[in-house]
């Protein structure tokens, strides 16, 4: 009986499942699914968690059908009414209902979401699902909601710096540290990272995987998981590798704990709220990070708040993709723009030299790594301190050498002046000698003149 029910559900998926099924990207579908479920909970006043802080499961398809049916009945009543005043009254009533429902939804999101940016995104997703099912939210209501959820966007968005990433890493848990440092040092998109599996637990010919034995650790993104549908590889830094190893030590325990929150795990179907606890043994999942992108994004925003990078209810300019932007900017700053673009999956307009010669990518990545390092560890700090000390000594030696050079320069200048003076004196003597030589030649040729001159001197 149960198998027949499952076959019937596959043959006739619910409205939510049908909408989500349109998206080949599982992450996008998951975002729309979570958004419409949030709308249903808020509309029907359903609590998100029980007294033990466990996520409560509902039959969202049934509730969604109930809401769609109610709205359709109201629209049918409007269509079938020919009295102008009555029709206007029914239209106002229908639009007021939608406005109230979405205003209520906005208030719910204001308390559930880490930032107004997330709230706006969830609101947009929910509106699109409803619109696909015939429910159009009036434009004036949409504008009011956007204004209500508007954050304090700055005119110029600041860049995410290495120091800021380090603060975020220190405020995150062990899973968050691994995610942040892997994204900031590889250039991968969040969906590409979540598709990565363990090399020995998957088909490396068709799946994305991680090679932990490679130096540096290598991430292979399969064509089906890449945004541009082109397979490529990337690497993670030494500090990201250390964070990843710490995550692997506790990964199974984390996954077992998360098993009670089914919506956090990849590939787990919804279950009705039967009041009974159920277990999902997903510790053997081949994914390096068996979580949905919504879960990782929520953890990212929590880390931003804890690190003081953003404040609650303020506009958040740092979505998780800014880690990818940091990697690309650092690559460009270090003079390895082509490498950064290739590893990040922007090779469409670049040559494939790194793909053809991966050893070149390894060599250049090692040169790039100091630039993308975010948190400087104690051993690196000690090394930098020694280098600074040596540099200081070198500068002192240079200063002494410079002083000695200046002294020699002054002595040389004085010597040059003395030589010049002596040269001038020599030239004056030489001139006098030349004059005397001329006079003497005259006397030698005319001795009478000389005798006459001598006689005059005697007289």
241 token code pair: 């590798």
Residue that has been written with the tokens 């030494």 in this structure:
238
pLDDT of 2: 40
Q: In the CATH scheme, what architecture does the domain 162-375 have?
A: Orthogonal Bundle (1.10)
Q: Which residue has the tokens 């290739």?
A: 342
The answer to whether residues 14 and 64 touch, using CB atoms and an 8 Å cutoff, is yes
For 195-222, the three-class secondary structure string (H helix, E strand, C coil) is: CCEEHHHCCCCCCCEEECCCCCCEEEEC
Rounded Cα distance between 219 and 224, Å, is 15
Domain ranges of the chain: 2-148, 162-375, 395-458
Contact 374, 169 (CB under 8 A): yes
Q: Round to whole Å and give the CA distance between 257 and 261.
A: 8
Per-residue confidence (pLDDT) for residue 376, from 0 to 100 = 66
* Alpha-carbon span 179 to 181, nearest angstrom: 6
Q: Tokens standing for 33?
A: 């699914």
98 contacts 138 by C-beta, under 8 angstroms: yes
pLDDT of the chain along its 459 residues, tens only? 444 444 544 556 788 888 888 876 666 778 888 889 989 998 898 888 888 878 888 999 999 999 999 999 999 998 898 898 888 888 888 888 888 888 888 888 877 776 666 777 888 888 888 888 888 877 766 666 666 665 544 434 467 888 899 999 999 999 999 999 999 999 999 999 999 999 998 998 999 999 999 999 999 999 999 888 889 999 999 999 999 999 999 998 888 776 655 544 444 444 444 333 333 345 578 999 988 888 898 899 999 999 988 887 777 788 898 999 999 989 988 888 888 888 998 755 445 667 767 888 899 999 999 889 888 664 444 545 565 666 666 666 666 666 667 777 777 788 888 788 888 887 888 777 777 777 777 766 777 766 776 677 666
- Token pair recorded at residue 332: 């460009």
d(CA 233, CA 240): 16
Confidence at residue 434, expressed as pLDDT on a 0 to 100 scale: 74
Residue 220 pLDDT:
95
58-68 tens-digit pLDDT: 999 999 999 99
pLDDT at 65: 93
What is the model's pLDDT at position 279?
35
30 with 291: CB under 8 angstroms? no
DSSP state for residue 320 in the 8-state scheme: T
Please tell me the predicted confidence (pLDDT) of residue 1.
Answer: 42
Report d(CA 301, CA 312) in Å as an integer.
10
Q: Can you tell me the distance from the alpha carbon of 222 to that of 233, in angstroms, rounded to the nearest whole number? A: 9
Residue 157 DSSP symbol: P
Burial environment of residue 289 by CB neighbours within 10 A (0 to 12, 13 to 18, 19 or more): buried
Kindly state the tokens that stand for 335: 């003079």
Longest dimension (CA), the chain: 162
């Amino acid at each position: 009986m149960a198998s027949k029910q499952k076959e019937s559900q596959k043959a006739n998926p619910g409205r939510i499942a049908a909408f989500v099924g349109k998206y080949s990207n599982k992450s996008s579908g998951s975002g729309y699914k979570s958004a419409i479920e949030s709308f249903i909970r808020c509309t029907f006043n359903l609590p998100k968690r029980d007294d033990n802080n466990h996520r409560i499961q509902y039959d969202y398809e049934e509730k969604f059908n109930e809401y769609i049916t109610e709205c359709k009945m109201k629209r049918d009543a409007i269509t079938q009414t020919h009295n102008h005043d009555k029709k206007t009254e029914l239209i106002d009533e229908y639009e007021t209902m939608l406005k109230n429902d979405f205003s209520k939804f906005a208030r719910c999101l204001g308390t559930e979401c880490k930032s107004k940016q997330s709230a706006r995104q969830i609101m947009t997703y929910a509106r699109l699902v409803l619109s696909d099912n015939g429910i159009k939210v009036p434009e004036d209501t949409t504008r009011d909601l956007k204004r209500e959820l508007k954050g304090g966007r700055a005119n110029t968005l600041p860049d995410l710096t290495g120091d800021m990433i380090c603060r975020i890493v220190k405020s995150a848990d062990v899973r968050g540290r691994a995610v942040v440092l892997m994204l900031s040092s590889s250039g991968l998109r969040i969906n590409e990272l979540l598709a990565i599996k363990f090399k020995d637990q998957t088909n490396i010919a068709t799946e994305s995987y991680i090679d932990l034995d490679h130096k540096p650790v290598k991430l292979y993104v399969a064509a089906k998981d890449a945004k541009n549908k082109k397979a490529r590889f990337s690497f993670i830094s030494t500090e990201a590798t250390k964070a990843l190893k710490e995550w692997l030590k506790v990964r199974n325990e984390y996954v077992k704990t998360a098993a009670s929150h089914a919506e956090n795990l990849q590939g787990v179907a919804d279950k009705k709220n039967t009041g009974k606890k159920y277990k999902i043994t997903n510790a053997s999942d081949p994914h390096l990070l068996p979580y949905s992108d919504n879960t990782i994004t929520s953890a990212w925003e929590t880390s931003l708040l804890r690190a003081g990078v953003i404040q609650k209810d303020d506009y958040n300019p740092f979505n998780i993709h800014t880690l990818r932007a940091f990697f690309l900017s650092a690559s460009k700053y270090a003079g390895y723009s082509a490498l950064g673009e290739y590893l990040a999956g922007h090779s469409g307009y670049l040559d494939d030299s790194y793909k053809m010669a991966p050893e070149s990518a390894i060599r250049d990545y090692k040169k790039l790594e100091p630039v993308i390092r975010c948190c400087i560890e104690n051993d690196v700090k000690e090394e930098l301190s020694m280098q600074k000390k040596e540099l200081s000594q070198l500068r002192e030696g240079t200063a002494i050498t410079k002083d000695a050079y200046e002294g020699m320069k002054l002595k040389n200048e004085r010597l040059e002046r003395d030589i010049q003076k002596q040269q001038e004196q020599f030239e004056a003597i030489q001139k006098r000698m030349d004059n005397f030589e001329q006079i003497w030649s005259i006397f030698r040729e005319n001795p009478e003149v000389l005798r006459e001159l001598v006689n005059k001197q005697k007289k």
